[in-house]
Amino acid sequence: MALEPTAKVKELLDAADEKLQAAGDVRHKPQLAEICSKEALSLAEEAHDLSRCRMDQAGTWASTHLITRAKLQLGDRTNALKMAQQSLQEADDATNLQGAAVMLIAEAECLAAHRNFRGAAESAKDGVDRAQRLAMRSLECYGLYAVLFHCFMTQGEVEMAQLAAERAFDCTRAMDRKSKAKHCLAVAQTLKVTSLSSAESCAREALYAFRAEGDADGEAAAQASLAQALLLRGAYQEALRPARAALEQKTTRGLEVCVHALLGCGQIEEAKKLTQAKLDLFQNHGDRSGAAFVTVLLAAAVAAEGDVARALSMLEEALSSKLDSLQTYAKASLQASKLLLDKGMLDECLARAQEALLAFRPMPDWCGEQEANAVISEVYSRRNEPHLAPNRPQAVRLAQDMASSIQSRNASAFQTAAAQLDRLALSHPPLSKQEHQHIFEEAGRRDKSMNDFIRANAPAKHGSKAPVGAGQSFTPVIKEQFYWGFRAGGIGYGPRFRGVDAALGLTSQAQGVDDEAHAYAVYRLQDDADEWEKGYRAHPSILDSALQSGSAIRNT
């Protein structure tokens, strides 16, 4: 069983950890982040000196870890690594298992900062395993979500990253309530990249824990995290409640999720009023950074209203000013790229999306990176160059997983793969038409009931049509509508030639993609036929109904 630091040392360690967390929260504002990191370093060094004086080994190792983290935040990577490796050697020489576990995690963080991700992953795995054996749940959890997850994601090992995040979530179940609240909030952020359902569950656990602790700020942060998870899966109406709760604490995060939830619910006027009021407040107080952040949100509301040109102008003005927040710059660039994509300005869109990607990366903001990569992949798909898309390898693997799950009738695996594939681009994952046909049509030839399985298990999108295949959707057409259309055009069909019982249009949502639109219909034909019709090999109404059902394409 691991030892705990003494009360006074623990108090200093908690204060240093809070400062490091604050530095991470404002890492997009370098000057403010530096101040928080220096304060954290001072507190950690004080805890280190006190723990040595009191022969508090647990406090010594924990404070050393915090010192290395603070040095990394301040950019002193070389000395941080040197300190971590020297301390690890001391722990090994003294056969101190607890100290070795802590310093292996510290070494892993330092190696990752030097971009030695393989070495970092090895050290982190060793440290996590030792922490598990010693029942050091907080350290085990931290090593999984803060180090291993980062290493795996950077190396493109998404499945391994997901396993690390899920395991970190499991670790929180054995923690005390205060630790659980803090770690669940952090783990939820990583799970949003790999599993939205788990991220939602984790954010709810954090919310309940903070509420039980009476921590209003923590509760607001958890409400915002929960709202973001719901927004990412398109559950705008459901996200509105936690978003409004987060907004009550008057945080920028609460404002952001609330505006996006309102826009998703179609409440554009309320979103505009909310952002305009905040913008006026920031401008009156001379807060340029806050004003720039709210301008990005206001631009989203203006774009939702249909004035894309004005929204783009607002974003370009914000980007041309000297922003002291890397996060605001990244989000403004991402928002601009999406609007440029809507206007069909692919070159300009690609440039902005790449700028957003480069800005999100050092924070790191994995959700932001994922969105930027989705836009970039969408551009290449629309150019008929899916092989250049950054998400292409993952798209091919997920499409193959979907086809495999169809054959095995594994609904859960199909839904998971389809949801992940859908997040790789805005409307059309980076798969060529030939690849799509090879993967899905080959499976369809072997499995005649494939489409029934797909329709039954396609993950529903809130407020939009459900995807049926890679980047495709079925749109039902009311059959009376096209009969009325024929009648208005001077064509009158009698009952015997109204053979279309149901019609569906199947089309890709992407524009400019080399894909085809199809119509599927169910015919219900009468058996009666006149003498002249009996001379034909097939009932004439079959061809006639086929022509009628083709109008389903025009209605999609």
Confidence at 412, pLDDT banded by 50, 70, 90: confident
More confident residue, 489 or 36: 36
Question: Looking at residue 170, what is its pLDDT?
Answer: 94
What does the pLDDT read at residue 32?
Answer: 80
Read off the pLDDT of each residue in 105-126 and give the average, rounded to a whole number: 95
- The larger pLDDT score, comparing residue 165 to residue 470, is at 165
Mean pLDDT calculated for residue range 133-161? 92
More confident residue, 489 or 367: 367
Q: Which of 21-25, 130-134, 201-205, 362-366 has the lowest mean pLDDT?
A: 21-25
Which pLDDT belongs to residue 431? 77
DSSP annotation of 343: T
Report the C-alpha gap between 370 and 375 in whole angstroms.
9
Look at residue 464 and tell me whether its pLDDT is greater than 70. no
Q: What is the mean pLDDT of residues 81-85?
A: 96
Between CA 185 and CA 225 the distance in angstroms is: 7
Same domain, 459 and 499: no
Residue 473 has pLDDT above 70, yes or no: no
Of 60-69, 109-118, 457-466, 544-553, the poorest mean pLDDT is in 457-466
Looking at this protein, which amino acid is placed at residue 418?
A
Of 433, 464, 495, the residue at which a domain comes to its end is 464
In a domain, 412, yes or no: yes
Higher pLDDT, 222 or 507: 222
Q: Check residue 546 and give its pLDDT.
A: 67
Q: Could you tell me if 485 and 549 lie in one domain?
A: yes
> Does residue 364 have a cis peptide bond before it, meaning omega lies within 30 degrees of 0?
yes
Percent of the chain's residues with pLDDT above 90? 42
Domain that holds residue 434: 392-464
SS (H, E, C) 263-324: HHCCCHHHHHHHHHHHHHHHHHCCCHHHHHHHHHHHHHHHHHCCCHHHHHHHHHHHHHCCCC
Look-up of token digits 């040595």:
52
**Average pLDDT score over residue span 315-320:** 86
Q: Do 549 and 490 reside in the same domain of the chain?
A: yes
Rounded Cα distance between 544 and 440, Å, is 30
Beta bridge pairs of residue 520: 504
The mean pLDDT of 329-353, rounded to a whole number, is 90
More confident residue, 323 or 297: 297
What pLDDT is attached to residue 527?
58
Give the pLDDT score at 337. Answer: 92
Instruction: Answer with the residue of higher pLDDT: 331 or 425.
Output: 331
Query: Is residue 45 situated within a structural domain?
Result: no
pLDDT (tens digit, 9 = 90+) per residue, 32-65?
A: 888 999 999 999 999 999 999 988 899 999 999 9
pLDDT exceeds cutoff 70 at 552? no
Q: Is the pLDDT of residue 103 over 90?
A: yes
In a domain, 402, yes or no: yes
More confident residue, 30 or 490: 30
* Residue 167 to residue 173: CA distance in whole angstroms: 10
Residue 81 lies in a domain: no
Which among 434, 464, 494 is the end of a domain? 464
Nearest to 55 by CA among 100, 102, 96: 96
pLDDT at 396: 82
What pLDDT, on a 0 to 100 scale, did the predictor assign at position 287? Answer: 82
Check whether residue 480 and residue 432 sit in a common domain: no
Tokens of 463: 């407020």
Task: Walk across the sheet containing 472-477 and list its strands.
Answer: 472-477, 500-508, 518-523
Task: Answer yes or no: are the C-beta atoms of 300 and 263 closer than 8 Å.
Answer: yes
Q: What pLDDT sits at residue 135?
A: 93
Over residues 414-428, the pLDDT tens digits come to 777 777 777 776 777
* CA–CA gap between residue 454 and residue 431 (Å, rounded): 18
Indicate the pLDDT class of residue 503, thresholds 50, 70 and 90.
low
Q: What are phi and psi of 209, to 5 degrees?
A: -70, -45
One domain for residues 396 and 451: yes
Residue-wise pLDDT for 258-279, tens only, equals 999 999 888 999 999 999 999 8
468 pLDDT band, cuts 50/70/90, is very low
Domain check: are 458 and 506 in the same one? no
Question: What pLDDT score was predicted for residue 426?
Answer: 72
Q: What is the pLDDT of residue 282?
A: 86
pLDDT of 512 over the 50 cut? no
Domain annotation covers residue 229 = no
Split into its structural domains, the chain has a count of 2
AA letter at 510: A
User: Tens digit of pLDDT for each residue in 163-181?
Assistant: 999 999 999 998 999 999 9
In a shared domain, residues 460 and 497 = no
Longest dimension (CA), the chain: 109
- Average pLDDT for residues 279-295, to the nearest whole number? 86
pLDDT of residue 524: 62
Residue 421 lies in a domain: yes
Confidence of residue 285 (pLDDT cuts 50, 70, 90): confident
Using the predicted structure, report yes or no on whether residue 462 has a pLDDT greater than 50: no
Asked if the structure places residue 267 within a domain, the reply is no
Residues 532 and 489 in one domain: yes
Judge whether 417 lies within some domain. yes
Mean pLDDT of 493-518: 53
> Which of 414, 432, 464 is at the close of a domain?
464
Does residue 161 have a pLDDT over 50? yes
Query: CA-to-CA distance for 159 and 187, rounded, in angstroms?
Result: 16
